[in-house]
Amino acid sequence: MPRQTIKLVSWNVNGYRAVMKKDFLASIGSLDADIVGLQETKLQEPQLTRAMKELDGYQAAFSFSTVKKGYSGVAAYSRMAPNAVRHGIGIPRFDDEGRILELEFDAFTFFNVYFPNGQMSDERLEYKLDFYQAFFDYAEALRKQGKSLVVTGDFNTAHNEIDLKHPGPNSKRSGFLPVERRWLDRIVGMGYVDTFRHRYPDTVKYSWWSYRFNARKTNAGWRIDYFFVSEDIIRKGWLKDAFIDNDIFGSDHCPVGLILEI
């Protein structure tokens, strides 16, 4: 039986309305993905346009922040009809910011997640770490049911020194704190595989650049956008490739991707 190739893309657009003015539809067309996850849409439901809701050839799903306008939010688009779409993990503290979409397919469950940023305060850092715990507790329950998982999005943490341009000066900054990096160690230890690093162990490539100091022009970036998969996907030989597309602009992040052969 021939295998099916599925291309998945994740992109923190840092404001859906803003990126729509920067050739977003052309960029999505060029990516030609079967499943797309967007983070930081910064939308409320009444602000959705027809173009956002009816992206050509895709079924759409959205989660919105209910605690703050113009904040957080995720969207997912799929050419394949999901068996189910779920919003959040059943814990209001984490669901109210509109950070999680779950699309269930026959072969795997896809999560599009905008993990919190811990830079604002010690309280937000604690929230971020608690969010990691709650989300992966939820994910592990699905794995115990035999589900294969694809977890993508902006994790807001660079894992290792190879994953950011200036590791030393940033070692006391949220996004590269030892306590945050240990969480990514834990995720790997639990049996989730960073697909880009699995395929390209020594490649230096970034997915986010500050708008300050000409960071993108000088490539002073961070790799904080990931596709993690449960290790059974690797064992079954489904991982064909992973990529980071630095040639697409419009946000302070660029798209990252995964190609599966199932």
The CATH number linked to 100 is 3.60.10.10
For 125-147, what is each residue's pLDDT tens digit?
Answer: 999 999 999 999 999 999 999 99
Distant-in-sequence, close-in-space partners of 184: CB < 8 Å, separation ≥ 6: 155, 157, 159, 194
In the predicted structure, residue 1 carries a pLDDT above the cut 80: no
Q: One of 16, 58, 77, 114 is an active-site residue; which one?
A: 114
Between CA 52 and CA 11 the distance in angstroms is 15
253 is catalytic: yes
Distant-in-sequence, close-in-space partners of 245: CB < 8 Å, separation ≥ 6: 31, 254, 255, 256, 257
Provide the whole-model pTM: 0.98
Supply the pLDDT for residue 20. 97
Query: Is residue 12 part of an annotated ligand binding site?
Result: yes
Total structural domains within the chain = 1
Instruction: Give the pLDDT mean for 44-49.
Output: 97
User: What residues make up the domain containing 213?
Assistant: 5-261
Between CA 182 and CA 116 the distance in angstroms is 16
Supply the pLDDT for residue 2. 83
Instruction: Give the pLDDT mean for 56-66.
Output: 97
Contact indicator for 196, 229 with CB cutoff of 8 Å: no
Query: Is residue 34 part of an annotated ligand binding site?
Result: no
Please report, for residues 48, 60, 62, 170, 257, the alpha-carbon distance to residue 57 in angstroms, rounded to integers and kept in the order given: 17, 10, 16, 42, 19
Supply the pLDDT for residue 179. 97
Q: Which residues pair with 243 in a beta bridge?
A: 257
Look at strands 5-12 and 35-39 and give their pairing.
parallel
Query: Is residue 154 part of an annotated ligand binding site?
Result: yes
87 is catalytic: no
| Mean per-residue pLDDT over the chain, rounded | 97
202 band by pLDDT with thresholds 50, 70 and 90:
very high
Two tokens at 110?
A: 């896809």
Supply the pLDDT for residue 41. 98
